Amino acid sequence: MRDYSKYDFSTVAIRAGWWDGDPVNGAVSPPIYQTTNFVFHDVADGARKCESVHNGYCYTRLGNPTLSVLEERIAALEGAEAGLAFATGVAAITALLTELVKPGDHIVCSNSVYSATNYFMSEILAKFGVETTFVDAANLEAVEAATKGNTRIIYAETPANPTIKVIDLEGIGRLARDKGAMVLVDSTFATPYLLNPLKFEGITAVIHSGTKYIGGHGDAMAGLVVGSAKLMDRIRDTSMKNMGGILGPFEAWLLLRGLKTLAVRMDRHCSNAMKVAEFLEQHPKVERVFYPGLPSHPQHEVAKKQMRGFGGMLSFELKSGIEAGVTLMNNLKICRLAVSLGDIDTLVQHPASMTHWYVEREERLKAEITDGLVRMSVGLEGVNDIISDLEETLALV
C-alpha cells in the first residue's frame, strides 16, 4: 500500500486506493466491477488467484477490484496496514469475533453498545462456550475487575451507542496489554475523521458500520474492519470467506463516494450537534443532555484529549419522563423518527422501545439506557431549523 501518511485527511479520502486513476481508460472515479467471477489466463493462473486475492481476482466473495479500493482507502484513513469490507456492520463484527475467539474464552464488553453486538455476544457466542461480561467500559476499574485469566477480548464503542459515553483508549489499551487481551473498538460514531483508535497502543482492530457516516446518505449498508495485514488476511481466508457477509461492488462504490465528502460533512455534523446540545441543555424541560462537547459530559476531558471533534450524536432525557419523549418524537417535523444514524437527515429514536427493545430492562438500566432516553443523530439541515423544530415541539410537552 502507498504511504499516505504525509497527505491531508481529505486528500486520502478522495484518492487512496485509486491514486493514479484508471490506467486503461483514464476513469477518475473507480469503476463498479459488477461481476461475480473473473476469467483466468490458464489453470496455473486460476490456481494462484484462488489461493490468495493478493495474486489477483477469481470470485467476488474472495475479492473484487472495487472493494479493494475501498479497503485500501479505509485502512489509509485509519492508519492501518489493511482493511476488509463487509455487507453490514454486524457482518463485520461477527466475522471479526468469530475469528478471534474459541470455546472457553472470555470477553469483557461495554454495557452500552449497539444492541445487535450485545445479542451476538450474550446469546449466540454463549451457545459456543464463549462467556461475555458486560460492564461500564468508561470505568477502567470496572473493566479491570471484570477481566479473568481467560479474557481474550475487551470490546468497546466510543462514543457509545446510545449513551454517548467516551472510552479512554489509552487507558483501556494499557489495561489490555497488562492482561494479555486484545482491544476491539467500534468507532462508528467518531469516524476516521475524528478518531483513529489504532494510534493508541494496545488497540488491535477498529470496526465501522459503513452504513452510517461513511456512506452518509442512508442508501447503502456496509461494515468495515481495519487492523494488521496478518489479521485481515486471516479473517478474509476464514470467517469472511466461509460465512459470506460480503459487500457488493455497487455498495462499495457508494461508500467510496461517501468518503470523498466525509471531512466536510463531519465538520457540519459536529457544528450542528454542538449548537443543538447547547440549546437542549439550557431548555427548562430537559433533564440531561449527553454530548461529549459539553463540559457537563462525564468524559468531556477524555474526548478533548483523543478526538478531533465531538461528533454528530447526542442523547437526552426530558424532565417529564417517557411520555414527554413520545410526545416530542411524534410531533417533530424537520427531525425524522428513524432508527439509523449518520445520515444527512436529522434522525431521532427511542432506544428502549426501538433499537434496544430486546435487551432486558434490568440490563438496559445498568447501562444507563433509561426508559426516557432519546437518541438524536444531528444532520446537515440548517441548524436553526433543527432547533426551531425542537423548540416548537417541546412547547407541546
Distance between CA atoms of residues 239 and 32, nearest Å: 25
Which of these is catalytic: 4, 33, 57, 114? 114
Question: So where are the chain's domains?
Answer: 9-260, 263-394
pLDDT single digits (tens) 225-238: 999 999 999 999 99
Query: What are the CA-CA distances from residue 143 to residues 44, 119, 135, 283 (Å)?
Result: 51, 20, 6, 35
pLDDT at residue 373 greater than cutoff 90: no
Which of 18-22, 107-111, 153-157, 282-286 has the least mean pLDDT? 18-22
The arrangement of secondary structure in 263-394, i.e. its CATH architecture, is Alpha-Beta Complex (3.90)
Cell numbers for 92: 463485520
Mean local confidence (pLDDT), 107-127: 94
Rounded to whole angstroms, the Cα distance separating 171 from 109 reads 15
- b vs e for 216-229, b when ≥16 Cβ sit within 10 Å of the residue's Cβ? bebebbbbbbbbee
According to CATH, what is the number of the domain 9-260?
3.40.640.10
Grid cell locating 335? 427531525
Does residue 61 have an active-site annotation? yes
Which of 105, 168, 186, 343 is catalytic? The answer is 186
User: pLDDT per residue over 47-75, tens digit each?
Assistant: 999 999 999 999 999 999 999 999 999 99
Query: Which member of 73, 165, 212, 265 is catalytic?
Result: 212
Q: Would you state the pLDDT for residue 21?
A: 86
- Dihedrals phi, psi of 258, to nearest 5 degrees: -65, -40
By the 8 A CB rule, do 376 and 394 touch? Answer: no
**pLDDT of amino acid 367:** 64
∠ CA(363), CA(357), CA(205), 5° rounding? 70
0.85 exceeded by pTM:
yes
For residue 105, indicate whether it is catalytic: no
Q: Report the run of H or E that residue 348 belongs to, with start and end.
A: strand 347-349
**Integer angstrom CA distances of residue 178 from 74, 144, 335, 372:** 29, 10, 45, 38
343 is catalytic: no
Q: Which of 61, 257, 308, 366 is catalytic?
A: 61
Judge whether 15 counts as a catalytic residue.
no
Q: Would you say 144 and 133 are in contact if contact means Cβ atoms under 8 Å apart?
A: no
Minimum mean pLDDT range among 75-89, 148-162, 271-285, 347-361:
347-361
AA letter at 72: E
Nearest to 129 by CA among 100, 103, 99: 103
Q: Which three cell numbers stand for residue 220?
A: 447503502
CB 297 within 8 A of CB 317: no
Poorest-confidence range of 91-95, 107-111, 209-213, 367-371? 367-371
pLDDT band at 370 (very low <50, low <70, confident <90, very high): confident
Identify which of 42, 83, 98, 57 has the alpha carbon closest to the alpha carbon of residue 242. Answer: 98
